[in-house]
């Protein structure tokens, strides 16, 4: 049985012409990828959480890149075989149904891209690309090959430089070009509907678009298994899987 949305919400979704979506690890968890936070997350075990954060931090990348890549390989092994789920597919359907759409995601797993989403702001980057730390050459990376890495890969262009994943590591700044896109899509041109799903929204830049939309009188929706700091901001908040709620939202928008 499909998830049933409140009648008022369905009515307002049908009037939407622009939608902004914000996603976190909770969406990927439904594809079998272990999240950092929440029940069963890496941070559930403090020692494991601390070790992982240290390994995939900027200082460790520069001092011991092999350790960073071994940690990334361990995470990749845990995500092996993951495929887009109903939540990813629903966001593609929403994007195809409205005049303007933007997807701000914290996830680096590439599942939104694999599902077919186009208007993506991957604020933390993506693991399917690398940058040479010596010559700055960018190159694609076969995600399946990450799981077997024991040492940091080397640059094919200069043959000397160590490659780094094109992701934001702990202790690094967000890429300014993506921050600028986020500002344009969520702050300067506030969407009719802002949906935040599968995230604890602990980072201000993740929570702020929802607050901006609510202050502007726009429709705000939260979908998360547990209450978060933005639960009190969202006009509609659902303690449910994104894979259950987002398809219902997509269906309502497509019934216009």
Q: Which helix (H) or strand (E) holds 13?
A: helix 7-14
Q: Which of these, 58, 97, 55, 95, lies nearest to 73 by C-alpha position?
A: 55
| CA gap 48, 69 in Å, rounded | 16
Beta bridge partners of 7: none
* Location of structure tokens 């216009």: 256
CB contact set of 5 (below 8 Å; sequence gap of 6+): 13, 245, 248, 249, 252
Return the SS3 of 16. Answer: coil
Q: Which of 11, 112, 124, 187 is catalytic?
A: 124
3-state secondary structure 39-68: CCCHHHCHHHHHHHHHHCEHHHHHHCHHHH
Q: Which of these, 120, 32, 114, lies nearest to 77 by C-alpha position?
A: 32
Active site residue 124: yes
Structure tokens at 65: 């890149």
Active-site residues, by number, are: 124
């Amino acid at each position: 049985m499909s998830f049933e949305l409140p009648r008022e919400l369905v009515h307002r979704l049908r009037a939407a012409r622009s939608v902004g979506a914000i996603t976190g690890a909770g969406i990927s968890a439904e594809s079998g990828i272990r999240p950092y936070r929440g029940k069963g997350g890496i941070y559930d075990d403090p020692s494991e959480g601390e070790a992982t954060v240290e390994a995939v931090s900027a200082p460790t990348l520069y001092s011991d890149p092999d350790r960073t890549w071994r940690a990334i390989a361990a995470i990749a092994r845990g995500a092996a075989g993951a495929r887009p789920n109903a939540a990813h597919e629903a966001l593609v359907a929403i994007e195809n149904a409205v005049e303007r759409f933007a997807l701000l995601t914290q996830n680096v797993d590439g599942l939104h891209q694999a599902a077919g989403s186009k208007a993506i702001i991957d604020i933390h980057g993506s693991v399917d690309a690398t940058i040479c730390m010596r010559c700055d050459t960018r190159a694609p990376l076969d995600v399946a090959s990450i799981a077997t890495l024991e040492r940091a890969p080397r640059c094919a262009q200069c043959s000397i430089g160590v490659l780094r994943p094109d992701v934001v590591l702990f202790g690094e700044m967000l890429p300014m070009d993506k921050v600028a896109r986020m500002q344009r899509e969520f702050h300067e041109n506030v969407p009719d509907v802002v949906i935040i799903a599968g995230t604890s929204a602990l980072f201000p830049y993740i929570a702020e678009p929802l607050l901006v939309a609510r202050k502007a009188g726009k429709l705000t929706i939260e979908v998360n298994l547990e209450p978060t700091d933005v639960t009190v901001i969202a006009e509609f908040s659902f303690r449910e899987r994104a894979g259950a709620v987002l398809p219902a939202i997509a269906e309502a928008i497509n019934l216009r």
